[in-house]
Amino acid sequence: MSEPDLPTFDEYWALFTRPAGIRIVLTPRQIYAVGHVITQWAFFDDQVNFLIGFWRCFPQVPREIANRTIRAETRYRLAHLRDELAPELFLRTNPNWQANLREEWVRQQDAKERETGLPTASSPSTTTRTSERFASSTRGTNFEIATAKVEALAEDIGFLSTWLMQFTSRLHEDEHRALHDKLRQQVLQQKKLDT
């Protein structure tokens, strides 16, 4: 009887001590969906940071609010915009915007909660083995999520970013309308002079 071909202890132990990595195989659709969410969320975060910096410069904002240090997590930055900056700038002078603003904040918080599970949603489902579902583990809970839902989340985040980009301008619709009308009158006057 021949001796079994076993590795030495050092060869065996090297399996636990050498650098190693796990390679998770994702389909192109899954890579795209997760990458799209990450990219959209990064842009959304930039918009939140821009508005915090921009709105803090308005003279209506008390210095103690403008200079307040806030935590970096999205929920704290959104709360700073919603609960401290927006009331000082807009809601006192434009109360009809309050409902619209509250509705959007709820959508933003919902998107963030849906996005939270995605960084760990990094493997295809073991039950379906297709690009249609992800297997995920978040906060100790295992679940599956449809790839289409991840793609939809990316689209939702894109709409929220656009809403934030347009918000300050939409608050000043009357001023924009007046400037547009003035410009139109000047163009018409110039046309009369040219003829």
Number of domains forming the structure of the chain: 1
Write down the pTM of the prediction.
0.64
**Domain boundaries, position 105:** 26-119+148-168
**Residue 155 lies inside a defined structural domain of this protein:** yes
Determine whether 158 is exposed, middle or buried from the number of CB atoms within 10 Å of its CB (0-12, 13-18, 19+): middle
The first and second tokens of residue 181, run together, are 């009308």
**Residue 63 lies inside a defined structural domain of this protein:** yes
Eight-class DSSP state of 151: H
Distance CA 151, CA 136 (A): 16
Cα end-to-end distance, the chain, whole Å:
111
Query: Cβ distance 20 to 140 under 8 Å?
Result: no
Q: What is the pLDDT of residues 63-122, one digit of tens each?
A: 999 999 989 888 888 889 888 888 877 766 666 666 666 677 666 666 666 555 554 444
